[in-house]
Amino acid sequence: MPLVTTKELLLDAQANGYAVGAFNVENMEMVQAVAAAAEELRSPVIMQTTPSTVRYAGLDYFYANVRAAAEKAGVPIVMHLDHGSSYELAMQAYRTGYTSIMIDGSHGNFEENIEVSRAVANACHPSGIPVEAELGKVGGKEDDLEAGEGNPYTDPDEAARFVELTKVDSLAVAIGTAHGVYKGIPKLDVERLSEIRQAVSIPLVLHGTSGVPDETVQECIRRGICKVNYATDLRIAFTKGVRSVFDTDPDTIDPKKYNAAGREQVKQYVMEKIKVCMSQNRA
């Protein structure tokens, strides 16, 4: 089917108590893996790319891969810009055909975040393309994007004002998660999440979920999270698959062999997380 937007998917997830998994893809094999997992479990799915991934190959290359996967699939697939670092990049993704746009203005102050988020929403909404923004600072590092200074947690009252002024469609919140590999077990402020849920009506997004215990993720979904992002663990899974081939046969030279092993590892990981998100059989 054609690519779809996140708008109806996240509203359905919000209404029915599940979340849609959003998976960062780095190459064709990872795109194929996410699509195959979604098909097998009859789940909607979001594929997304960060600015550094876009710099590696270009918006058009990743868009073409995901669009091809969507057209072969019988489940809803979204193409999403993750952590759009500027208005200009957001507009480039929009013009390329991405069906969901995130603008991450959380590195600036509150007013600057409002300004850039509102500008992107105003540009995308006439064409029906939903916009995700971030308030608060999810810790760690997303590719080459540092979390920066400032309050690391989302303030519920600020969230209500932010959503009212920007008219964004979904909001990534900071409740103690971090991008990258955790050194210990993350401790999330789930009570804050419930307070944010009471303050705003739009779907909420959890970033930095790789490494967060599955039961904690499901508690966050029960408290209002409708989109769950996974990135680091997909890279780990793909690399694990590739390494397994070279561990068995160091002289392997055919990229199809080791990339296929990486693809299978990613597929299995994505299937696990679709079940954590409780989105199987929701397509």
Domains and CATH numbers, the chain: 6-234+266-277 (3.20.20.70)
* Tokens of residue 184, six digits: 């210990």
Tell me: is residue 100 an annotated ligand-binding position: no
Mean pLDDT of the residues in the chain: 93
Residue 82 annotated in active site? yes
pLDDT of residue 71: 98
Q: Is the dihedral of CA 31, 172, 133, 202 positive or negative?
A: positive
Does 215 belong to an annotated binding site?
no
**Cβ contact 219:240 at 8 Å:** no
**What pTM, to 2 d.p., does this model score?**
0.93
Q: Does residue 163 contact residue 124 with C-beta atoms inside 8 Å?
A: no
User: Any known ligand binding at 231?
Assistant: yes
Of 82, 155, 169, 233, the catalytic one is: 82
What's the confidence (pLDDT) of residue 180? 55
| Amino acid 147: pLDDT | 46
Query: CA-CA distance, 194 to 131, in Å (whole number)?
Result: 22
Q: Is 148 annotated as a binding residue?
A: no
Task: Let me know: does 194 contact 166? Beta carbons within 8 Å.
Answer: no
66-84: pLDDT as tens digits: 999 999 999 999 999 999 9
pLDDT tens digits, residue range 195-222? 999 999 999 999 989 889 999 999 999 9
The per-residue pLDDT for 187 is 81
- The answer to whether 210 is a known ligand-binding residue is yes
Instruction: Look up residue 192 and give its amino acid.
Output: R
- pLDDT, one tens digit per residue, over 96-110 is 999 999 999 999 999
Q: Is 83 annotated as a binding residue?
A: yes
- Radius of gyration of the CA atoms of the chain, in A: 18
Percentage of residues in the chain with pLDDT exceeding 90?
88
Render each residue's pLDDT in the chain as its tens digit; 283 residues: 999 999 999 999 999 999 999 999 999 999 999 999 999 999 999 999 999 999 999 999 999 999 999 999 999 999 999 999 999 999 999 999 999 999 999 999 999 999 999 999 999 999 999 999 999 876 544 455 554 455 679 999 999 999 999 999 999 999 988 755 545 567 899 999 999 999 999 999 999 898 899 999 999 999 999 999 999 999 999 999 999 999 999 999 999 999 999 999 999 999 999 999 999 999 9
Q: Where are the beta strands (DSSP E) in the chain?
A: 20-24, 45-49, 77-84, 100-103, 131-135, 139-142, 145-146, 170-173, 178-179, 204-206, 225-230
- Phi, psi torsion values for 67, nearest 5 degrees: -60, -40
181: left (phi over 0), alpha (psi -120 to 50) or beta: beta
